[in-house]
Structures are given as structure tokens and as C-alpha cells.
């Protein structure tokens, strides 16, 4: 899959790196792509890769279904249970140790 915004078609920009001595070499500026689930016009939920700028617009239009919703809707220990591996155990132990519930 190309590194391109699936909604707007925005892609990476190309140019030159320039040092103080005016040496140049080719480089590219990649997009800040984020994977989000959005609701289309028919109400179907689709997963797409969009740039951070497009994500900001989608949030403004209230079309984003899931993007960091766990921190807003559920308590932190419940969100930690959804994580896998030792990181989840470490996070749960922090909540128990410091009584952060």
C-alpha cells in the first residue's frame, strides 16, 4: 500500500536537503498517516489511512468512529485489560499500587 491519504489523495512531497555549504541531496517529506475507522454516507464503518490534517477535519464533522476512544469512555484499568502482554500487567500494577482508579 502506498503512503497516501486514502480520502484526499495527498501524497509525500519531494525536494532537496540543503546544508550550510549548499550541498544538496534528494529527500522526501512523508505524511503523518493515522489509521482510523470512519462512518461513510450510508452509515457503514470502514478503516482507512488518513493524514493528521484530514483526521482533524473528520473529527470536526463527527465522522470518526474510533480513534483513542478508550481513554475517554472506559476507566483506565479496563482499557489496560484490552492491551496484551507484560505492558498491560505493568499498567494494572501501577493502578493498584497508586490507587488511580
| CA angle 76–78–84, rounded 5-degree value | 100
Residue ranges covered by each domain of the chain: 1-67, 70-101
- The pTM of this model reads 0.56
- CATH number for 1-67: choose from 2.30.170.40, 2.40.170.20, 2.40.440.10, 3.10.20.90: 2.30.170.40
| CA angle 5–7–10, rounded 5-degree value | 40
Instruction: Dump pLDDT digits (tens) for 44-77.
Output: 888 889 999 988 888 888 878 776 544 343 344 4
- DSSP 8-state code for residue 13: E
Choose among 37, 41, 43: nearest CA to 6: 37
Instruction: Dump pLDDT digits (tens) for 8-23.
Output: 899 999 999 999 999 9
Amino acid at each position: 500500500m502506498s503512503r497516501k491519504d486514502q480520502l484526499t489523495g495527498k501524497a509525500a512531497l519531494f525536494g532537496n536537503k540543503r546544508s550550510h555549504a549548499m550541498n544538496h541531496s534528494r529527500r522526501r517529506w512523508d505524511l503523518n498517516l493515522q489509521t482510523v475507522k470512519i462512518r461513510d454516507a450510508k452509515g457503514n464503518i470502514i478503516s482507512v489511512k488518513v493524514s493528521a490534517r484530514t483526521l482533524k477535519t473528520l473529527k470536526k464533522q463527527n465522522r470518526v468512529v474510533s480513534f483513542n476512544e478508550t481513554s475517554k469512555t472506559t476507566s483506565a484499568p479496563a482499557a489496560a485489560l484490552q492491551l496484551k502482554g507484560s505492558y498491560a500487567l505493568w499498567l494494572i500494577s501501577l493502578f493498584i499500587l497508586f490507587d488511580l482508579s
